[in-house]
Amino acid sequence: MSSYLLEKLDEWRYRIPKSYKPGMLVDGIVYADEKLMQHIMQDKALEQVANTAFLPGIVGPALAMPDIHWGYGFPIGGVAATDIDKNGVISPGGVGFDINCGVRLLKTDLFYDDVKPRLEELVNALFSIIPAGVGSTGSIKVSGTEEKKLLLKGARWAVERGLGTADDLDCTEERGAMDGANPDAVSAHAYERGRAQPGTLGAGNHFLEVQVIDTVFDEPAARVLNLRKGQIVVMIHTGSRGFGHQICTDYIKIMLACLQKYAINVPDRQLACAPVLSKEAQDYLGAMRCAANYAWANRQILMHRTREGFEKIFKQGWESLGMTLIYDVAHNIAKVETHTCNGREVRLCVHRKGATRAFGPGHSEITERYRTIGQPVIIPGDMGRHSYLLTGTGQAMRETFGSTCHGAGRLQSRSQALRTVKPQKIIAELRQQGIIVRAVGRQTIAEEAPQAYKNVNDVVEVVHQAGISKKVCRMKPLGVIKG
């Protein structure tokens, strides 16, 4: 897409007019500044924004966050909402293969000076206790019957087995389990792939990081969250592993057949979809919710293992260490939500692919403890720079269906990074910055090198200035565990 086809609305927003392609039903809106737009235009992600505007039933603009980059069907960093009662569709490409890839942030009452002398020992302990990488399996293996219970209960399944508390559920999006999960809509192959992977960290951009809060932007919100400068937190980023990947694979095949069955015309077959009220879409939603619940159970188990690692090093119980969950958010998901469109309440299917829910203050779906400040929004960066905690806003509710960015966004493909980066050099450079890295494979370090990503500081500044989320604090990595 040429730059002259984009209309600059203000310093933080660009428009792709629906006249760009015959068949676009709505405009596209891209959140970016001029610097980020130069990066964004290096691949075909903007073309994918235009393509999502073809989806039957789409309302409002097709949205792109500043971390947008090329993905399957939808761009990663894309948001689209369809009107369920007006033949709106759901597309597996609008959720992605790693269903409910998401992030949780765990606080501690430890400060940097408490952890610095034992940092390497702590990172090594966590690396030994957290199963990570492609095909990794955990100590928790479930039978077929038990796996179905996990898919229905999500994080609560883990809590009921002593791997957390009810407070953890209160601070998890959807309380750690979406209603409407349907284990009967899941294939035998997906069950097989998921059976040995609860409590495991994926490869690629998935990680566990020990971080320190280095800047607080919003002191009142930070007080509500019980966070201060210098405090140690832990961020866990992973999803539904091979289980969710298989569900996406299975239903893409089914949705491809739906294009002809329901006479749906889209410019890219990767946008295969079906009306939300159709049997195929309802089956996909039931299976997708199973994968989302699997991911919440997975992150709950990993948080429990993290607490055990801290207990081992600091010789105190995790409660004494103040290791409570701040929040857990989903990044790749589709949800049935009610939003105000043109002055009326509308039931929508909101696709967030590489995007975070960012509901504003007062929303009933936010846990009561955070309702005055808005939903916590957790934005990880690369392993050499920063991550952020933000809150959702009323502006996001009016403009983006309560959505914001999800991370830094890639600049280089993994293959490009592998060709240009030496893992040992990255490890040494990070060590000089006081960041200790442990990874199952050296290839992952090259693929996930800081230079392979946009600067998360730039990405977060755009969503903050645009008003669709609000900065609370910034975290710097100290110890990184990769698959």
Could you list the active site residues?
406
Q: Cα(172)–Cα(367) distance, rounded to whole angstroms?
A: 9
Q: Cα(342)–Cα(301) distance, rounded to whole angstroms?
A: 42
Asked if residue 437 lies in contact with residue 132, where contact means CB atoms within 8 angstroms, the answer is no
Q: What's phi and psi for 40, nearest 5 deg?
A: -60, -35
Of 248, 140, 244, give the one whose Cα is nearest residue 196: 140
Q: Cα(456)–Cα(197) distance, rounded to whole angstroms?
A: 30
Q: Which amino acid is at 478?
A: L
DSSP readout, 257-271? HHHHHTT---S-GGG
Residue 302 in 3-state DSSP? Answer: helix
The region, left, alpha or beta by phi > 0 then psi within -120 to 50, assigned to residue 390 is beta
Report the alpha-carbon angle 173-175-180, nearest 5: 95
Of 29, 28, 30, give the one whose Cα is nearest residue 40: 30
H helix intervals, 185-240: 188-194, 219-225
Residue 252 in 3-state DSSP? Answer: helix
Asked if residue 323 lies in contact with residue 310, where contact means CB atoms within 8 angstroms, the answer is yes
Q: Torsion angle of alpha carbons 333, 398, 371, 103, nearest 10°?
A: 30
Q: Cα(28)–Cα(238) distance, rounded to whole angstroms?
A: 29
Q: Cα(388)–Cα(103) distance, rounded to whole angstroms?
A: 11
Of 23, 31, 29, give the one whose Cα is nearest residue 56: 23
Buried b vs exposed e over 334-361: b needs ≥16 C-beta within 10 Å?
A: bbebebeeeeeebebbbbbbbbbbbbbb
> How buried is 192 (Cβ within 10 angstroms: 0-12 exposed, 13-18 middle, 19+ buried)?
middle
